Chains A and B, each alone.
Chain A
Amino acid sequence: MKPVLFRFSDGAYIHSGHFMLFVGGLLAILLLAIEIRRTGEKPEKIWGLMVLLSIAAVYGAHAFYWLDFRKEYGYGLKHLFIFWKGGMALYGGAILAFVTYALYTHWQKMDFWRTGDLLTPPAALFVFCARLGCILSGCCHGRECRPDFPFAMAAAPPTGPIAPHTPVYPTQPASAAAALLILVVLWARWSRKKFEGEIALIGMLIYSATSFVIEGYRGDLRVLYQILGTEISQNQVISVNLFLAALILYFYRLRESRAEQAPTLP
């Protein structure tokens, strides 16, 4: 664990979590540029969308984090706007980015589903890098586990109620692996996709499913409900809703595409 990645002689420093978001952003931009060239999409519209999405994602993610941890870390209202200090919550960024995406694609008369397919693999790459940042900075850590658990890792500060070096579930590497899995599946599926939007919906399905499971092992999340003795966090509630929405949309789009391809009777 290395929360501060670079510390300069004059006292200036760069936090590892934020640095990995930067690296993830760069790689996502590179992958998106390759995809734009490959698919022949209009780059000026995609980059315009990306400018707005970057603002929405960063502020949404920070606002969600602020809401979750303002009491634990004593954040005031001014911290809501200082996004470069403190952390990010991925779902907050995703929600605000989605609203921005829907409005922009409607305004620019872009294909909602095709553009979604284009953006999903770079988003998975970005999440992978962001999760590597979680490993480095020690955030998003797991719950305490038995020391003999095969993949147990030592918790690093800041760990909240868990004492440093306590064996915890490896939620950060698991989240990174899940993002990598999404990227590989989408890559393999791209050339065989059956309808516009399939790539985006598969990405949402895998992300929400893996996220629901992994979040269950996290030790730093706000618990919302207790159902049959099981604690359900805010992120898990979002994961379930996202999964159901993606599943319904997947079969709806599949049926639509089959209806379009079916031969019309004279």
Chain B
Amino acid sequence: LNLNLYLYLALFLLLVGLFVHAHLKRRREEARRQDVHPEPGTEPQGPETEDRGQGE
């Protein structure tokens, strides 16, 4: 049985793993950055606090 193919597969999977890891890390960083400094128009909407029916 020729095991050479498994060496190439291991190397390829390592590269795919590094790519996925780096990609996910970048997305997490971007999400965190958006939480700290939300872009205009993307601020989270808080609960409605309309002064309705607060007496006459």
Q: Which residues of A contact B (CB under 8 A)?
A: 6, 10-15, 18-19, 21-22, 25-26, 29, 33, 42-44, 46-48, 50-51, 54-55, 58, 83-85
Interface residues of B in 1-44 (CB under 8 A from A): 1-5, 7-8, 10-12, 14-16, 18-19, 22-23, 25-26
Q: Are A13 and B19 in contact (CB under 8 A)?
A: no
Q: Are A21 and B26 in contact (CB under 8 A)?
A: no
How far does the alpha carbon of A21 sit from the alpha carbon of B5 in the complex, in Å? 12
Q: Which residues of A contact B5 (CB under 8 A)?
A: 84
Q: Which residues of B contact A13 (CB under 8 A)?
A: 1-3
Q: Which residues of B contact A11 (CB under 8 A)?
A: 1
Q: Are B4 and A26 in contact (CB under 8 A)?
A: no
Known A54-B11, A54-B12, A83-B8; contact A15-B19, beta-carbon cutoff 8 A:
no
Give the number of chain B interface residues (Cβ < 8 Å).
19
Chain A interface, >50% SS class: helix
Q: Which residues of A contact B1 (CB under 8 A)?
A: 10-13
Closest to A48 in B: B19
Closest to A82 in B: B5
How far does the alpha carbon of A187 sit from the alpha carbon of B8 in the complex, in Å? 28
How far does the alpha carbon of A55 sit from the alpha carbon of B26 in the complex, in Å? 24
Q: Are B11 and A43 in contact (CB under 8 A)?
A: no
Q: Which residues of B contact A44 (CB under 8 A)?
A: 19, 22-23, 25-26
How far does the alpha carbon of A68 sit from the alpha carbon of B45 in the complex, in Å? 66
Smallest beta-carbon distance A242→chain B, Å: 26
Q: Are A14 and B19 in contact (CB under 8 A)?
A: no
Q: Are B15 and A21 in contact (CB under 8 A)?
A: no
Q: Which of B2, B4, B8, B15 contacts A47 (CB 8 A)?
A: B15
Given A14-B3, A22-B8, A51-B12: 7 more A-B contacts, CB < 8 Å = A13-B3, A14-B7, A18-B4, A50-B18, A50-B19, A58-B8, A84-B4
